[in-house]
Amino acid sequence: MMGRLPVLALATLLAGAAFAQQALALSPAERCLLEALQSAAPDASVSSVRASCAEAAPGNPEQQSSAPLPAPPADVPGSRSAAISDSPIQRRLGEEARLWFDRIAFIPHRPNYALPFAQGGNLTGGDALSDAALRQAEFKFQMSFKVPLTAPAGPGEPEAFFAYTGQAWWQAYQSKRSSPFREYNHDPELFVRFRSETPVLGWTARLTSVGIEHTSNGRDGFGSRSWNRIFAQLELDRSSNWWLSLRGWWRIPESAKAAPGEAGGDDNPDITRYLGNGELRFGQAGDKLQWDAMLRHSLRSGGKDAFEFNLSYPTLFNRRARWYVQYFNGYGESLIDYNRRIHRFGIGLMLNNWY
């Protein structure tokens, strides 16, 4: 029975994600707005999209929902043409705009994936599992979404979001210890984003974000790990589906603990030595094969580094699912292991990529 748990969990994750992507029944007015967004440019204003449906509002609702909408000319910036196909960030912005009027407006934030076979090394069980009972093979998965708090906006106008990412390391193959979760990291974010079309050394700066982020593992006592930070992020892309993301952060200071194991105070005062003050991600979002890499290095004296490489390819049984391979080597893969060098190789399925 325990050997079937990872397969059942993977099936549940895929089924749940597919259900969440289905919107509830829309009213004729909402359906018209959704269809208008599907053909509109990503930088089109909300008022212009609403105006395209307003003329049909006084008439027959059925006629309103079925009336054809004029397609944007091919030379309109952001229209569905060959010019936009090379911009992975603009494609994602178009998908997000179409979801704005859905009743269930959960939008993918970071990649959602499941790695039933994730072989690690140098792991620790913390206070949840003794190192002697620890399995180096785990089931690792990540669920990540964001919810828009404001309507899609044009260049230079703010868009507000709430995002949540949950990352789990499950000892699914340790049946003698009831297959516990070795670690689960909660990562909520609140941020404001601005669109742009700014050329930068052959790239185009598309998005600039500023926000606040809290990361913790939800434990108490000696196993507690957490930190808060203010971050800024710049996202760029260029032709041939190349993309680049620069993210920097400043840790919000915390007071020292009065005694080890107390609830108040800093759980991990040296965490920036291992996770630094920023990271670089870059990749290529091809039609089929997609890859990306992450580089992180602390600028502090004696600082540590981390490297991650991800590769995905479409499956044959579901157009939304992708075969996924992940490799990680360095510090900060999880909070419980933040000060240990971890090396891990995982194979599984991905539901969405960065772009």
Dist CA 346 CA 324 (whole Å)? 8
Burial class (CB in 10 A: 0-12, 13-18, 19+), 333: buried
109 is catalytic: no
Q: 216, 224, 245, 312: which one is catalytic?
A: 216
Give pLDDT, residue 67.
39
For residue 148, list its beta bridge partners. Answer: 161
The model carries a pTM of 0.77
Q: 45, 179, 196, 214: which one is catalytic?
A: 214
CB atoms within 10 A of CB 296: 22
Tokens of 124: 């620790």
Cα distance from N-terminal residue to C-terminal residue, the chain: 37
Say if residues 235 and 89 touch (Cβ distance below 8 Å). yes
The C-alpha angle 221, 224, 225, rounded to 5 degrees, equals 155
Dist CA 247 CA 260 (whole Å)? 32
Domain ranges of the chain: 2-18+106-352, 27-99
Q: Which of 3.40.50.720, 2.40.230.10, 1.10.3720.10, 3.20.20.80 is the CATH number of 2-18+106-352? A: 2.40.230.10
Dist CA 170 CA 181 (whole Å)? 4
Instruction: Kindly state the greatest CA–CA separation across the chain.
Output: 72
The closest alpha carbon to 83, from 197, 203, 283, 240, belongs to 240
216 is catalytic: yes
Say if residues 244 and 206 touch (Cβ distance below 8 Å). no
177-230 pLDDT per residue, tens: 889 999 999 999 999 999 999 999 999 999 999 999 999 999 888 889 999 999
**Which uninterrupted H or E stretch holds 168?**
strand 158-170
Tokens of 2: 């325990």
DSSP-derived 3-state class of residue 62 = helix
- Tens of pLDDT along the chain (355 residues) come to 444 444 444 444 444 444 344 433 445 666 676 666 656 665 566 666 677 776 555 444 444 333 343 343 333 333 344 455 679 999 999 888 877 766 666 899 999 999 999 999 888 876 656 677 789 999 999 999 999 999 889 999 999 999 999 999 999 999 888 899 999 999 999 999 999 999 999 999 999 999 999 999 998 888 899 999 999 999 999 999 999 999 999 999 999 987 777 778 899 999 999 999 999 999 999 989 999 999 999 988 788 999 999 999 999 998 889 999 999 999 999 999 999 999 999 999 999 999 9
Dist CA 234 CA 248 (whole Å)? 9
For residue 200, list its beta bridge partners. Answer: 203
Tokens of 218: 């939800």
For residue 48, list its beta bridge partners. Answer: none
Dist CA 187 CA 217 (whole Å)? 9
